[in-house]
Amino acid sequence: MVVDLDGVVIHKPDTDKRRYKKVVLANGLVVLLISDPDMVDQGDGGEGGNGAGAMGDDMASGSEDDDDDDDYDDDDDDDDDDSSEDSSSTKKAAVAMCVHTGSFSDFEEIPGVSHFLEHMLFMGSKDFPNENEYDSFLSKNGGASNAYTDMECTNYYFDVQPKGLRGGLQRFAGFFVSPLCKSDSVDREVQAVESEFVQALQNNAARLSQLRCHTAAEGTVHNKFTWGNFKSLIELPTSKGLVPRDLLLKYYKAEYSAERMSLVILGGEDLGTLETWAGDLFSRVPSGLGPPVSFSGQKKPFEGGRVYKLPMTKEGHELHVLFQLPCLHKFYESKPDDYVSHLIGHEGSNSLLSVLKSKGLVTQISAGVAQDGESRSTAGFMFNVTFVLTEAGLKFGDDGFGIVEYLFAYINLIKEIGPQKWIWDEIAQASKIKFKFAEEEEAMDYVQELAVNLRLYKTEHVLEGDYLHDRWDPELVKEILEYFKPSNMRVEVQSSSFKDRSLPEEEPWFKIPFSARRLSEEECERLAGFSDAPGIDLPPKNEYLPSDFSVRAQDFLQEERGGYEEAGKFVCPTPEALMAPPLLVSTSANTEAWYKFDRFFKTPRMASLLSFRLDDISSSAEQSVLLKLSTKVLEDMLVETTYLADVAGLTTFVYSCQDRLEIRIEGFSHKLPVLLEKILDGMANFTPTAERFEACKETLKRALKNSIAKPARHATYLRLISLVMESWPLEFQLEALDELTIAKCKGFISSLLAKGQRQVLIHGNITLNETQKVILDTKKHFSEDPPRAKCAKKLAELKPGQNFVHAALVQNKSEKNNASEVYFQVGPENHVDYAALSLLEQIMYEPFFDTLRTKEQLGYSVSCSLKNTYGMLGFCFSIVSAKFSPLHIEERVEAFIKDFFKVLSDMTDAEFKQHIQSAIEAKHQQDQTLIEEAERHWEQISMGRYDFFQRHHHAVEINKWGKEAFLAWFGKYFSLDSGDCKRLNVRIFNTDHEASVADERSYSAGDLMNFRDEVKVFTKKFSPPEKSGPQIT
């Protein structure tokens, strides 16, 4: 049945207690088995099993990344859907199958067939013919699923509560043994692919990727349309007399073979049991096609020395400089490209970014070979340097081309100085530490990564391969650097300013206008010898690399442990099955400090979390946007310090929520207090330069405008701005932003330090005595003015029977999608209603998705979920559709809700109890990492709840619900005929439905104040507990 490869020792982190075994089935399928001793098997591992969970929005679909990471996220703390998790022993099992074939292998007759097949494998198999059998089973057993198609691999994966693992495997195996690809399923699911394509049309990363495919040399595997849409998957083959379903099955038989697959199974069972399951279920996968196809030996896809320009759909400007490298897979132990990316992408002092920022030309840089199949494949690697430009940067040279000169000045300097071993040693040291003390990833993420790695790395390096920097090879580094030359370079400029230009060419699928030109010999020669960039140098040595990895929990003194446990009783009685809460160890007029010693994970890590609030921070649009701008400027000022720390394993987040500034530092504990002190010094000495201030102001302005460019984001924004009474419309914020000055930002930061209400949490590998010093050092930066009024949030509480409509037109006139949110409000937060909403999400999510997405094909993004907006509970149905208007979407949501009453009524007591148990188990998911636990506690502190066992309380309440009582509760809040139903509909119309926006029942953004006059005001107050643990003074 199997070839046993267990004799090879798989290198794993010191912190990893799991057991691993790699085997090869008789049909050639490679399998990695992982047995987790901490995973509780709560059932027999068969068909049955309970759990809670919901499928991701991209279930049964590709998961192409979104490009809008520069969007401004106002973070209104909505969707605080009980993410604080009690730490019981529940962990999830997970499985991934990577089929090592993808879009490079698409048939010419049906572009996008790889992606289409990925969708279709979810639609039933011979043993499990029902379309939603797999999804329904996972949902009932606490599971989620997804998949993505890349250039040389297609990865399918799921997670599930442990006792549902075997049942999940049985259904999953059908994907690769006997998929049905039924004709009616093909006809419907192609609409999902079409919707996904339409949703990507305004995505800047997708547009750039497609332009690269279009302009790649004919005959190369890059020269394809890989997304697939109705035209390429149905109309094109049909016009040639071909049957799309026949081509799907032909592709499956031509590319899907056991020798081209790698399977990872993570479960709580012993390795022998997992091996038996793998053999029983996956030995039936057909074989005979041989190993995965290699595309090595192909010519380069791009002609060097070319410059392309294309419009950006949102406000902003980006410059991409791409260099073509040979395939470097076999050099994974030395990773020469990492050396180059470390230098070019460095953000510390003397760096390329530092010099360009000082001139006000750029705001961000990234450099390296991305992890996607377009960037690294057997056909070659693509090293990309991306600059986010300011308005001044776009005007620097020919549409930013002056930036390219600075890039080559640094490249030429790196070549001249030659490879430096001390730089390599720092990279290798940081990577080695990160692997040695690696924390557990989410199970589903972990298995999908390992499924890919099984084909990339030697068996012993399957876990370690991504981190390995074991071989210093300066000659290889020099060889790679020779590819960084103008004749091997491709430049791409994306700018919103190009929307008004007449560009001569057009990409046929996305209809992207673009221009292309070839660099002259003179330009290439100038770049090759350019060196006039004063200030650029190699980075400084990294002072934040840790060397002390001692774990305090191993030497925890008995007297301190006793004092800690006794003090914990003051905060909250601790259920035996749950970990202790943090202690309130220091209080003063404006400061509360919390502390939690780690005795569970026993890792040399810690987290420090701080927040600063002013009670009038949302009193005006100016104050609101001043918080955002001051945060952005502070983050920019600190970046040369925080970047070095990040390289060394200390990550810093500086960001604004609606009513506070937060600083989070997480990572290795040795140097964290040093970094915290430097950050607070930076706040105390807040002195931005005029150039950087203006660049941050421009960045924020652009981000605010872009924040509602997507219909889904626009709909959420309108819902939140309706519910959060102290929020300010974007147009008010943009107007106020223009008037802000450096002096106002300095005054704001000073007020936070002097008058703000501060919260601190120190959690992890640090003793109480060490914490005392950290807190005292921290408090030196704070003034203790007289106590200010306690902060509170004002929220819109809809009146019983109210039904509001908030409508708007899409921001981007080229956007083809509509968006709709149908929000039902329940009322102020309490354990009983929260439990009911959690149970509702558990029962409703899968049938809602199956009905409106799979069967009715309303749109690609379909979801429903509990919403907790600063303590106001509700439930929201969200759909994005290019085919149907918000009015039609609302009708279908209403029809689903009416039908759902019958679903609940007809549900057997056994089925209802299964959902009860599933929802309870969802509340008992174990914290995977120390940081996850710290964030769970911090949420309770920063949101003013201080209910550290919230999920435990919710689980208790869920268990009390009976079917009849739940049906009555559902009818009260969700029946449109109920006098207690409170609803807010948000409609975002594309330009095809512009006339529908002006509905006499609807409010526009400009009517916001009138809307607020018609609702009640609920005030959520934040009050810390009165009792505490031992005080630090």
Residue 44 scores a pLDDT above 50:
no
**How far does Cα 684 stand from its chain's mean position?**
32
Angle (nearest 5°) at CA 496 between 495 and 498: 75
- What is the per-residue pLDDT for 7? 73
> What DSSP character marks residue 196?
H
- What is the per-residue pLDDT for 999? 62
Distance CA(585)–CA(607), nearest Å, equals 16
For the chain, the domain total comes to 3
431 three-class SS: helix
Residue 578 scores a pLDDT above 80:
no
Q: What is the mean pLDDT of residues 508-524?
A: 98
- What is the per-residue pLDDT for 1018? 93
Least confidently predicted of 33-47, 367-381, 440-454, 677-691: 33-47
Within a domain: 196: yes
Distance CA(258)–CA(25), nearest Å, equals 9
Mention every residue, 6+ apart, whose C-beta is less than 8 A from residue 831. Answer: 950, 953, 954, 956, 957
Residues 522 and 595 in one domain: no
Residue 1009 scores a pLDDT above 90:
no
Between the alpha carbon of residue 805 and those of residues 227, 300, 974, 998, the distances in Å are: 35, 54, 16, 11
**Cβ pair 512, 312 in contact under 8 A:** no
CA-atom Rg of the chain in angstroms: 28
Number of Cα atoms under 13 Å in the Cβ half of residue 746: 10
Distance CA(178)–CA(194), nearest Å, equals 25
Neighbours of 909 (CB within 10 A): 9
Any bridge partners for residue 25, and if so which?
Answer: 2
Residues 115 and 49 in one domain: yes
Neighbours of 869 (CB within 10 A): 25
Q: What is the mean pLDDT of residues 753-759?
A: 91
- What is the per-residue pLDDT for 1006? 54
Band of residue 459 on the pLDDT scale cut at 50, 70, 90: very high
Which of 733, 763, 790 is the last residue before a domain boundary? 790
- What is the per-residue pLDDT for 56? 33
Within a domain: 291: no
Distance CA(891)–CA(902), nearest Å, equals 18
Which one of 189, 440, 666, 726 is the catalytic residue? 189
Closest CA to 706 of 205, 313, 207: 313
**Cβ pair 786, 589 in contact under 8 A:** yes
Closest CA to 843 of 908, 782, 759, 771: 908
Any bridge partners for residue 760, and if so which?
Answer: 593, 610
Residues 234 and 107 in one domain: yes
Within a domain: 1023: no
- What is the per-residue pLDDT for 6? 54
- What is the per-residue pLDDT for 62? 31
Element of type H or E holding 186: helix 183-200
> What DSSP character marks residue 110?
S
Q: What is the mean pLDDT of residues 263-282?
A: 98
- What is the per-residue pLDDT for 573? 39
Within a domain: 233: yes
- What is the per-residue pLDDT for 788? 59
- Label the pairing between strands 512-518 and 505-507: antiparallel
- What is the per-residue pLDDT for 89? 47
Distance CA(226)–CA(224), nearest Å, equals 6
Any bridge partners for residue 302, and if so which?
Answer: none
**Cβ pair 336, 381 in contact under 8 A:** no
- What is the per-residue pLDDT for 972? 97
Residues 28 and 101 in one domain: yes
Residues 630 and 679 in one domain: yes
Residues 330 and 416 in one domain: yes
Which long-range contacts (C-beta less than 8 Å, at least 24 apart) are formed by 1008-1016? 1008/721, 1008/722, 1008/729, 1011/722, 1011/796, 1011/804, 1011/806, 1012/725, 1012/796, 1014/799, 1014/802, 1014/804, 1015/796, 1015/797, 1015/798, 1015/799, 1015/802, 1016/796, 1016/797, 1016/798, 1016/799
The overall longest dimension of the chain from CA atoms, in Å, is 82
Amino acid at 562: G
Which of 727, 761, 790 is the last residue before a domain boundary? 790
Amino acid at 708: I
Closest CA to 944 of 683, 673, 594: 594
- What is the per-residue pLDDT for 918? 86
**How far does Cα 639 stand from its chain's mean position?**
22
Q: What CATH number is given to the structural domain containing 373?
A: 3.30.830.10
> What DSSP character marks residue 825?
E
Distance CA(412)–CA(531), nearest Å, equals 7
Residues 402 and 331 in one domain: yes
pLDDT digits (tens, 9 = 90+) for 1012-1024: 888 999 998 877 6
Within a domain: 630: yes
What six digits make up the tokens of 109? 């007759």
Distance CA(929)–CA(950), nearest Å, equals 19
The rounded percent of the chain whose pLDDT value lies above 90 is 82
User: Which spans in 756-851 are helix H?
Assistant: 768-779, 831-849
Neighbours of 803 (CB within 10 A): 12
Q: What is the mean pLDDT of residues 611-616?
A: 89
Distance CA(175)–CA(121), nearest Å, equals 5
740 three-class SS: coil
Residues 310 and 278 in one domain: no
pLDDT digits (tens, 9 = 90+) for 96-135: 999 999 999 999 999 999 999 999 999 999 999 999 999 9
Band of residue 252 on the pLDDT scale cut at 50, 70, 90: very high
Question: Chain-wide mean pLDDT for the chain?
Answer: 91
Closest CA to 929 of 268, 91, 93, 264: 91
Band of residue 785 on the pLDDT scale cut at 50, 70, 90: low
- What is the per-residue pLDDT for 793? 87
Single pTM value for the model: 0.93
Closest CA to 52 of 161, 158, 134: 161
Q: 189 catalytic, yes or no? A: yes
Within a domain: 440: no
pLDDT digits (tens, 9 = 90+) for 146-205: 999 999 999 999 999 999 999 999 999 999 999 999 999 999 999 999 999 999 999 999
Q: What is the mean pLDDT of residues 782-793?
A: 71
Place of tokens 């690696």: 438
**How far does Cα 313 stand from its chain's mean position?**
22
Band of residue 1028 on the pLDDT scale cut at 50, 70, 90: low
Closest CA to 668 of 643, 651, 654: 651
Distance CA(971)–CA(905), nearest Å, equals 11
- What is the per-residue pLDDT for 1020? 86
Distance CA(566)–CA(572), nearest Å, equals 11
Mention every residue, 6+ apart, whose C-beta is less than 8 A from residue 557. Answer: none
- What is the per-residue pLDDT for 59? 31
Q: What is the phi/psi pair of residue 589, to 5°? A: -55, -45
Mention every residue, 6+ apart, whose C-beta is less than 8 A from residue 830. Answer: 873
Amino acid at 717: Y
Residues 339 and 374 in one domain: yes
Place of tokens 């290198």: 11
Any bridge partners for residue 1017, and if so which?
Answer: 796
**How far does Cα 326 stand from its chain's mean position?**
30
Q: What is the mean pLDDT of residues 932-943?
A: 95
Q: 964 catalytic, yes or no? A: no
**Which segments within 528-680 are labelled E, that is strand?**
583-587, 591-597, 605-613, 650-656, 660-668
Residue 1031 scores a pLDDT above 50:
yes
701 three-class SS: helix
Residue 925 scores a pLDDT above 90:
no
Range of the domain at 586: 553-790
Distance CA(458)–CA(467), nearest Å, equals 13
Angle (nearest 5°) at CA 206 between 204 and 207: 65
Residue 52 scores a pLDDT above 50:
no
Which of 751, 768, 790 is the last residue before a domain boundary? 790
- What is the per-residue pLDDT for 568? 43
Within a domain: 514: yes
User: Which spans in 259-351 are helix H?
Assistant: 271-282, 336-344
**Cβ pair 784, 588 in contact under 8 A:** yes
Distance CA(217)–CA(380), nearest Å, equals 14
Burial class (CB in 10 A: 0-12, 13-18, 19+), 537: middle
Which one of 118, 698, 821, 846 is the catalytic residue? 118
Residues 490 and 617 in one domain: no
Residues 43 and 169 in one domain: yes
The rounded percent of the chain whose pLDDT value lies above 70 is 89
**Cβ pair 510, 111 in contact under 8 A:** no
Place of tokens 């192609």: 190
Amino acid at 333: E
Q: How much of the chain is in helix, strand and coil states, percent to nearest 5?
A: 40, 20, 40
- What is the per-residue pLDDT for 789? 59
- What is the per-residue pLDDT for 1029? 55
**Which segments within 103-242 are labelled E, that is strand?**
144-149, 154-160
Distance CA(337)–CA(87), nearest Å, equals 41
Residues 267 and 336 in one domain: no
- What is the per-residue pLDDT for 83? 36
Closest CA to 654 of 646, 794, 617: 646
Within a domain: 168: yes
**Cβ pair 857, 191 in contact under 8 A:** yes
pLDDT digits (tens, 9 = 90+) for 472-498: 999 999 999 999 999 999 999 999 999
